[in-house]
Chains A and B, each alone.
Chain A
Amino acid sequence: MKKMEPENRGAFSRRTFFKSLGTVAATAATAQVTSVAAELEKVNAEKIIGPAAVPVTLKVNGEKLKLMLEPRVTLLDALRNYSSLTGAKEGCDRATCGACTVLLGDTPIYSCQKLAIEAQGVEITTVEGLAKNEKLSKVQQAFLTKDALQCGYCTPGFVMSVTALLKKNPRPNAADVKHACAGNTCRCGTHPRILAAALQAAGIETASKTEVIDYV
């Protein structure tokens, strides 16, 4: 068994670690802490990834993206800083703002909370992957028409959350949209327009309540 040297800190697969945690935790209740460490060591020794960069292949927007990444690199970091896909934005890097939302399969995820190595093998869709042949997707077109954006930095995240919602539920109501966008933050205050855009993309038109009245 390979001994864990200090320079090997972090040199275990996070996936195996979590996988083994269930059984280890049960053991921990009765055994000494040292035996837990030994158990972990055994599990982790089976497959060591990193800490140096390893080859990672991501399937993004229908294309293969081959990168050399340290295992600790997040999917967001990989997209933004190791490739030119900067559509997903970094707003907080801790799953509280949703600007980094991408689809993993059909599921919207915070790409800042997914390690790139864990995102292999599943189709990833970023905001760059929605428009086909320069034609905006329904959701993108609705965001544009309804002016559901101001500075636009949170927009890719909202667009992805709404896209995921409509895949699952093509005729959502306002409450569904609010729920689907609960993980997205906007500081410019475009929320009412995002709601209107999401509904418009689902074929439900809401009228603007703005009224212009002449002063004189």
Chain B
Amino acid sequence: MTVSQILSVLVFVGAYILIATERVHRVAAALGGAGLMLALGLTNGETAFHSLDAGVDWNVVFLLLGMMIIVGVIKQTGLFEFLAIAAAKRAKGKPFAVLAMFVVITAVASAALDNVTTVLLIAPVTFLVCDRLGLNPIPFLIAEVMASNIGGAATLIGDPPNIIIASRSGLTFNDFLVHMGPFVVVMMAVFVLVCRWLFRSAFHYDEKRVAEVMALSEREAIRNKTLLVQSMIVLALVLVGFVLHSALHVEPSVVALLGAGLLVLISKVTTEEAIEDVEWETLVFFMGLFVMVGALVNTGVIGQVSKALADAVGGQPLLAVMALLVISAVLSAIVDNIPYVATMSPIVSDLVDAQGGGPQAESLWWSLALGADLGGNATAVGASANVVVLGLAARNGTPISFWQFTRYGLVVAGLSVLLAAPYLWLRYFLFA
């Protein structure tokens, strides 16, 4: 290894440890690492900001920005509260039926919105309905956050790792729907059944309290009907744009930005309100990560790792897919899946190229996505949405401990991998 390669690995590993252990804020760690990479000459401004392979992936950053603006406006309409309360009433307040409905709403919403936003929207309604029914909200919250991680895996925009994978691989929105969607639908059906068993003790309730749920008025949740209609039209246009983006030769980030701009333009939402929910920290974190990973590409570390891995699994593509699935799930359970996928994407890209780039080789991307998205369910810190739900639960006076979450998480994540493995094998190898 050259000196520059050793230095880049040291800086990267140091920053990664800081991110994983949360000794410093993850943004500070990523930016600090990126700054050091630049200061040590392991990358340069031209590469960091303008290179497609070794620089900041602006497609990812602007796709996230556009969707955050759209979601920020949709949040103000009360649509989510309307849907959730209507669902609870349709379930006639029966706890398992309510949980199943909330879980499905969360998964579907997570496919179109980011997971953290989805759980932020569903959690308050969950507290309200559980309060009314005299139920413990913890099983509901755990099930919802897991559903958001599962549902988010279905689409290009559902989970940040998917956005990174799409940008690095060139896979389209439709590719994600076709390859990830079917698995996610099956996984969700299994997950709902598993919830019946996992949380079986949480479904005892007082039938007299059902009236308290039935008395809630979901129509009152819609605060601004005009904004709701405008938001739905724009969201529909954006989703159509995503479906057609490859045919139109337009990047998903452009679709999202156009949608965000259109929504701000036609609605009476002020610019300040529209960008209020933009998570600038997350965007800056991504930029820092991309510069660090770019330095590893620039110094040739990624190339060497890819070559070593390609040699190790050469001629055994099934082994590569399965190993990537399991390793991704395990690592994503322990550390944030965003830096993991940002690091692995250039490696997987090289491996796909080394295997000739056909559909079987491309299954490596689906293996990475499934492992990283679903592995996050294993522990309380495996995904950003998990951490957010733990915080919300604590603020509500119903704290969820790390192990309380993890003992359910390990079952669901383990089951996900057990289902994903045969799915990948059947679809891309046996019936390829």
Q: Please say whether chains A and B are actual partners in one complex.
A: no
Chain B: residues with CB nearer than 8 A to chain A?
A: none
Chain A: residues with CB nearer than 8 A to chain B?
A: none
